[in-house]
Amino acid sequence: MLKFQGTGVALITPFHEDYSIDYGGLKKVIDHVIEGGSDYLVVQGTTGETATLSKEEKRAVLKAAIEYTAGRIPIVYGIGGNNTQAILDEIKTTDFTGVDAILSVSPYYNKPSQAGIISHYLNIADACPVPVILYNVPGRTMSNLTYQTTVELSKHPNIIGIKEASGDLSQCMRIAAKVPEDFLIISGDDILTPSLRVIGGHGVISVLANAYPKIFREISHADYDTAKKAAFKLLDVNPMMYEEGNPVGLKYLMQELGLCGETVRLPLVKGSENLKERIRKYMPR
């Protein structure tokens, strides 16, 4: 699956001040990341504030992204949750025209066993008409896809990779050692991308690539020394993206870069003045 190597952008959903979707801003961001050398888009993942969008809005954003991208780069769509049957129902009613794969987060809050996680994903993979990328983010879901679970799921022909955001390089190494060679290991942590490349990773699904796609082009595609130095440029600003909830810091950074407004939907609120001051100080120029 060469189309999902390199930099995938976890696309934000720009809003107007009245919280309606800013489709003009969305187009501007899409142009920015494509012109910056990004390899694919992830539409309606966590960074897109999908939890606060209605089903109709989610599909409208997907439709707009597909139409405006116009085949320039592939599109991955976020479909996940902690109710397996609801996800299967959503798959049945989704038009996948123009969608190249889905990204599906591991069930959150109800903390299923590994056997439950495996059954959850196998049902999704069997039902989905496009390939499935797993998403392991224990800091949000409160459960971890163990490397054994990932290896077991990698045997399904419609499960093509994992976005690994555990921050556990040992776990990632064990995955890399056991999965098929063409199974994608995608970093879910922007700064750890060069390290993951060394052990067999295939790139990143990135938050900060919304703002700095050219830096991520180097992180994902350049030689290791260049990639490492590119990642170092983001060391100071990266933690600020998450201090007050994702994508609060990112949206303010995007506003500073003239790409879209900083509005987020409740329960998130705009960044504090302290956060904004530090972002202005440490953002790469």
DSSP line for 92-143? HH---TT--EEEEEPP-SS---HHHHHHHHHHHHHH-SS-EEEEE-HHHHS-
Phi, psi (deg, nearest 5) at residue 163? -90, 110
Amino acid (one-letter) located at 103: L
Residue holding tokens 């996800």? 87
**Distance (Å, rounded) from C-alpha 145 to C-alpha 179?**
14
Amino acid (one-letter) located at 237: V
**Cβ contact 1:160 at 8 Å:** yes
CA angle 147, 206, 183 (to 5 degrees): 35
- By annotation, the residues acting in catalysis are 135, 163
Class of residue 116 by CB neighbours under 10 A (exposed 0-12, middle 13-18, buried 19+): middle
Phi, psi (deg, nearest 5) at residue 160? -105, -10
- Candidates 3.40.140.10, 3.20.20.70, 3.40.50.2300, 2.120.10.30; correct CATH number of 2-226? 3.20.20.70
**Cβ contact 274:281 at 8 Å:** no
In sequence order, which residues have a C-beta less than 8 Å from that of residue 272 and are 6 or more positions away? 244
Can you give the pLDDT at residue 2?
74
Phi, psi (deg, nearest 5) at residue 65? -65, -40
The domain segmentation of the chain, as residue ranges, is 2-226
CA angle 279, 280, 285 (to 5 degrees): 105
Residue-level pLDDT, tens digit, the chain, 285 residues: 679 999 999 999 999 999 999 999 999 999 999 999 999 999 999 999 999 999 999 999 999 999 999 999 999 999 999 999 999 999 999 999 999 999 999 999 999 999 999 999 999 999 999 999 999 999 999 999 999 999 999 999 999 999 999 999 999 999 999 999 999 999 999 999 999 999 999 999 999 999 999 999 999 999 999 999 999 999 999 999 999 999 999 999 999 999 999 999 999 999 999 999 999 999 998
Strand 6-10 and strand 203-206: the pairing is: parallel
Alpha helices, DSSP H, located in the chain? 23-35, 55-69, 84-93, 114-127, 138-141, 147-153, 169-178, 193-198, 213-221, 224-232, 248-256, 273-282
Partners of 49 in the β-ladder: none
Can you give the pLDDT at residue 1?
64
What is the CB neighbour count within 10 angstroms for residue 223?
8
Find out whether 205 is annotated in a ligand binding site: yes
Strand 132-136 and strand 40-43: the pairing is: unpaired
DSSP 5: S
R_g of the chain, CA atoms, integer Å? 18
Instruction: With H, G, I as helix, E, B as strand and everything else as coil, classify residue 200.
Output: coil
